[in-house]
Amino acid sequence: MEAVPGLQADQLGYSGRGLLSAPGIAMVIGLLGAMVGSFLNVVIHRVPLGESIVTPRSRCPGCGTQIASRDNLPVVSWLLLRGKCRTCAEPISVRYPVVEALTAVTFLAVGLARGIDSDLAFELPFAAMLIAVAGIDIDHRIVPNKILLPMAGWGLAASAVLRPGELPELAIAGAVAFLFLLVAALLRPGGMGMGDVKLAGVMGLYLGASVAPAMLVAFAVGPGWESQSWPAMGQVRASAECPSRRSWPSAVSWACSRAPS
Ligand SMILES: [Zn+2]
């Protein structure tokens, strides 16, 4: 029997047969990413304000009208509405479709690079967490425990079930990354917050030994990012501007450096 030419599902690491073609799988992951990105917008907006991420439904900050489902499609609705509220024409920040598209592309890249298997249970939530944390850190310069603690719990629980043999390495990597940044934060007060230190620990739980190169990249890239290049999210503007000087980079969330306080 001749193999069907073209990109096959198993080239993506997908071991199942006959359910979906490779482009079909890619589309499903991309759509999943867009929907998760829509949820991340809610997380970025509400978690720092202490609001529920479940209820109520999103409303236009201009006129208070509840956003209809048809106007809540990731990326597409923003484009169809040309970035304006359907009711009052209040501009909707471009950040919303940007986060949705970024998450879709990130999920797609993770699926292509890592293959379609049970490891996605770690990889996709981890990628989503980084996007949410980056958005919140840029706006508020905090990394909320409300995100870090559940993610640490998920990392440990899912590892215990899916890859118990790696659990010791993951736990050690988390502890070492946490302690390394803790020492760095203590040596350079004002350079990093405790949120970064805890985030490094959570990253170790997901990445294992790979947390070391990941943090090197973050330290190299971090200083080049400025919050001003990130579109503000509607009425929730950054509560404080970035200091103009570039000091120690905000470790792993690509955010601007913290002001000494
Ligand atoms: Zn409106």
pLDDT in tens, 35-80: 999 999 999 999 999 999 998 888 898 899 999 999 999 999 999 9
Number of domains in the chain: 2
For 156, phi then psi, to 5°, come to -70, -45
Q: Which of 52-56, 174-178, 250-254 has the lowest mean pLDDT?
A: 250-254
Residues 110 and 149 in one domain: no
Q: What is the DSSP letter of 192?
A: B
Residues 104 and 182 in one domain: no
Residues 63 and 154 in one domain: no
Residues 79 and 148 in one domain: no
Residues 79 and 181 in one domain: no
* Rounded distance from Cα 91 to ligand 1 centre (Å): 8
Picking from 48, 230, 228, 229, the residue whose alpha carbon sits closest to that of residue 136 is 48
* Rounded distance from Cα 80 to ligand 1 centre (Å): 15
* Rounded distance from Cα 87 to ligand 1 centre (Å): 5
**218 lies in which domain range?**
118-231+242-261
Residues 71 and 139 in one domain: no
> Tokens representing 234?
């509607």
User: What 3 state SS string does 206-240 have?
Assistant: HHHHHHHHHHHHHHHHHHHCCHHHCCCECCECCCC
* Rounded distance from Cα 64 to ligand 1 centre (Å): 6
* Rounded distance from Cα 84 to ligand 1 centre (Å): 8
Most confident of 10-24, 109-123, 148-162: 148-162
* Rounded distance from Cα 244 to ligand 1 centre (Å): 34
Distance of alpha carbon 47 from alpha carbon 132, whole angstroms:
10
Picking from 68, 112, 106, 61, the residue whose alpha carbon sits closest to that of residue 88 is 61
Strand partners, 84: 91
Which residues surround the ion ligand 1 when the cut-off is CB under 5 Å? 60, 62-63, 85, 87-88, 90
